[in-house]
Amino acid sequence: MKKTMKSIAQQLGVSRTTVSLVLQGKGDQYRISRETQSRILETVKKQNYTPNYFAQTLNAGSSRTIGIIFPDIFESFMVQMLRGIEDILSAQNYMMILMTSRFRHETEARNTEELLRRGIDGLLMAPTCGFANENPPQSRHALILKNKLPLVMVDRIPEGYTGSWVLQEDRKGGMAAAEYLTAQSCEVCTVVSLNITASSLRERIQGFTEVVPDCRDILLDRQDRNTGDLEDALADTVETRRGKKLGIFCTTYGLSLRVKEILTEKGLVLNRDYTVIRFGGDPEGFSSGMASLIQPHYEIGAVAAEILLHLLDQPMTEPVHRRIPLKAGEGFPGFR
Q: For 319, what's the count of Cα atoms within 13 Å in the CB-facing half-sphere?
A: 12
Per-residue pLDDT band at 252 (split at 50, 70, 90): very high
Residue 73: pLDDT over 70: yes
Q: Distance between CA atoms of 146 and 321, rounded to whole angstroms?
A: 19
Summarize the confidence of residues 58-85 as an average pLDDT.
82
Q: Whole-angstrom Cα distance, residue 207 to residue 193?
A: 13
Average pLDDT for 40-50: 80
Whether the full predicted model's pTM is greater than 0.85, yes or no, is no
Coil vs helix vs strand at 221: coil
- CA 132/CA 147 separation, integer angstroms: 29
E-strand stretches of 169-245: 188-194, 216-220
According to the model, what pLDDT value does residue 99 have?
94
Walk me through the domains of the chain, giving residue ranges and CATH numbers: 5-60 (1.10.260.40), 65-169+297-327 (3.40.50.2300), 173-294 (3.40.50.2300)
Largest CA distance in the chain: 90
Q: How many CA atoms lie within 13 A of 25 on its CB side?
A: 3
Closest CA to 127 of 199, 177, 60, 57: 199
Tens of pLDDT, residues 27-38 = 888 889 999 988
- Please tell me the predicted confidence (pLDDT) of residue 58: 46
pLDDT at residue 143 is higher than 70: no
The strand pairing partners of 276, in sequence order, are: 248
Of 326, 302, 63, nearest in space to 174 by CA:
326
Residue 139's pLDDT band (boundaries 50, 70, 90)? low
Nearest to 132 by CA among 190, 192, 193: 193
Alpha-carbon gap, residue 201 to 330, rounded angstroms = 21
